[in-house]
Amino acid sequence: MKVIIIGGGATGASCAARLRRLDENATITLLEQTDEISIANCGLPYYVSDIIPDRDNIQVSNVDTFKQWFNIDVRLNTRVIEIRPKTQEVIAENGTIYSYDKLVLALGAAPFVPETQGVEQDFVFTLRHLSDADQIKSYIQSHAVQQAVVIGGGFIGLEMAENLKHMNLSTTLVEAGPQILNPFDTDIAQVAYHRLRQNGISVYLNTTVQQINNKQVTLSSGETIPADIVIMAIGVRPETKIAVQAGLKTGIRDAIQVNEFMQTSDPNIYAGGDSVEVKSLIGDDPTLIPLAGPANRQGRIIADHVVGLASSYQSSQGSAIIQLFDTVFAMTGATEKSLQAKSELYHKIHVWANSHAGYYPGAHPMLVKLLFSHTGKVLGAQAYGHTGVDKVIDVLAALIRREVTVKDLIEAELCYAPPFNSAKSPVNIAGMAAENVLNGLFKPCFEVDEKALLIDVRPAAMFAQGSLPRAINIPITEIRNHLNDIPKDKKVIVYCAKGYTGYVAASLLRQRGFTNIFNLSGGLLFFKDLKG
């Protein structure tokens, strides 16, 4: 069996290695249009700033390893320009014709570069390949760069902005949309926005670049920003030109459509990675998920199916994480935006929990946002904090994959010892809060109603250090003595620092006959994070 793989990134490399482990007799040829394979693309911003100092660490594997370990013929600098499905051949730019029994398209995606005047200048870069990172590092070192502008507020854009700042460059980020980190919900993205600004990065939202010239960037507002270097990180688009020309079925942004076995509309041609359209875990909607995890799994599934193993790819849930200075942001599953786009009803809660037992040194608070249906099905989650965020979202990602309910979160039995977790883990706490909402024991509110009475239930000393405008202070320890001072015919919002004391106060009032009592979701700390 002859297998041709086009593309040496996550999907192509994982497919080639897996296929050899399954079939020693297959003839496997990998064609890569650049001079590199198995590059850790996600590490490139950290290589630029020398947080990852060794270039070899970015190269997960190489041609020699593929040849000596796996007997795979890797052809670098070999660009395929045509696929001929009828004769089962691919044509390289140099004229070489490769025949195949099975063809794997791991075409990846290319950085999107708008038709902006000046993008062709030598101080404007994209970041997709190791060679791009080498050029950026070299340019910064040889041109005494002081002012950097990053265009695009996605994952790569933010990581590049952070790493340029680590290099002591004056850094500006320009985002065309109303928020950075578009996959996240607006509230969590707003916290990330403030973290960037608090660490000295200037951020422009709802702003496009009109022109790049004379070492400056002209914005849609008319303002100009000095720029010794510009990084274009607007996003990527599926690289599927040869697939389209070959007549393969495509979908969103010409991404290749595949079945659960990663087969295209031609059963002898497979595709995976950033160039394919997949199903979303929540709702089965077609979507694009250009992430390394799904790409690697898809490569493995392709190899399995080629040799006849029962392996399939069901869906993607878009689990993602990013660190911005000392704060980690992570997400999995549905977002408010995705649910609203489908007019689906949902509940949400924000809870604070510690990364491990609060009495053990080094515990840090994290905020967990949970989305769930009226039946209790967990739909999605997001979180931010200093440590432990990855663990919490990873657990929730695994549970969401199994279509669990909030009750399952309560019953999740996770490891506990003071240095690692609390007896009630953040996962358990989120489930408990969600169950209270479903049972009518807790009414969260997500904004301050100007007509509502605001009651700060923290101690008087904390209230004196700062509170919300118009709020009155009735500490939780005194609230039973002030029941006659709280109106029953008016909306009342109680709150504390993180939400728990407010929940206790709301529970007390509810049992005393108050029916219009709400607790500010996430408390004053989350409210302040939103406002920056």
Active-site residue identified among 42, 415, 445, 496: 42
Q: Which residues pair with 250 in a beta bridge?
A: 256
CA dihedral 505, 507, 513, 519 (to 10 degrees): 70
End-to-end CA distance of the chain: 60
> Please, where are the H alpha helices in 174-285?
186-198, 241-245
Q: Are 325 and 38 in contact (CB under 8 A)?
A: no
**CB-facing half-sphere around the CA of 429: CA atoms within 13 A:** 24
For tokens 């031609």, the residue is 266
CA distances from 6 to 34, 74, 89, 258, 393 (A): 11, 10, 12, 16, 34
Q: Are 154 and 197 in contact (CB under 8 A)?
A: no
**CB-facing half-sphere around the CA of 350: CA atoms within 13 A:** 29
| Residue of 9, 40, 523, 12 whose CA lies nearest to 300 | 12
Q: Are 150 and 161 in contact (CB under 8 A)?
A: yes
Distance CA 460, CA 418 (A): 31
How many helices (DSSP H) and strands (DSSP E) are in the chain? 15, 31
Q: Residue 182 gets which letter from DSSP?
A: T
Residues 6+ apart with CB under 8 A from 221: 204, 207
Per-position DSSP letters for 87-108, written without gaps between them: TTEEEETTS-EEE-SEEEE---
Residues 6+ apart with CB under 8 A from 220: 207, 208, 209, 210
15 is a catalytic site residue: no
Distance CA 532, CA 115 (A): 34
Q: Which residues pair with 378 in a beta bridge?
A: 372
DSSP collapsed to 3 states, 327-368: EEEEEEECCHHHHHHCCCCCEEEEEEEECCCCCCCCCCEEEE
Q: CA triplet 209, 322, 400: central angle to 5 degrees?
A: 120
Q: Are 486 and 453 in contact (CB under 8 A)?
A: yes
Q: Give every strand in the sheet of 378-385, ordered side by side.
A: 320-324, 327-333, 378-385, 365-372, 347-354
Give catalytic residue positions.
42
